[in-house]
Structure 1
């Protein structure tokens, strides 16, 4: 499977998704195998919904 949005996530670096990229990220989250699920998945979906609920919002993942 191809996951270009999730590929951008790195535990040691930052990743930023804009309002146009969030739907692509959500689609990839929906396609993840169940083995990769967990509470983080629901939290990520909730954050995506916050970005989609407004304008000029970004989803930032901050690494170590």
Structure 2
């Protein structure tokens, strides 16, 4: 996970990554539209407006999808919210 600016410069990065499990694929897209969009082999980018939705989803995330990445994702969301032209990137394999 990284926060990047408009010119793709890395502003902040997580210390750990998201460990993909099949539980992510089982998320209900109606309840978790932001997280449901994640795939293990592709990038996902969240803008300033989407980050607030992502934070709400992290609050109700099933334990099977949790881990250290959740706290780090929250911190990176704050970095996005505190600046302009910043985006949260989930970088796939």
Partner of 1:55: 84
Q: Which has the higher helix share?
A: 1
The CA RMSD over aligned residues, in Å, is 1.1
Which of 18, 28, 39 does residue 68 from structure 2 map onto? 39
Map Cα deviations across residues 13-42 of structure 1 (whole Å, 9 max, x no partner).
010000010000000001113343221110
- Distance in 2, Cα, partners of 1:14 & 1:37: 19
Divergent runs of 4+, >6 A: none
Q: Which has the higher strand share?
A: 2
Partner of 1:15: 44
Larger Rg: 1 or 2?
Answer: 2
Displacement of 1:62 in angstroms is 1.0
Question: Which ranges in structure 1 are unaligned for 5 or more consecutive residues?
Answer: none
TM-score scaled to structure 2, two decimals?
0.64
Displacement of 1:45 in angstroms is 0.5
TM-score scaled to structure 1, two decimals?
0.90
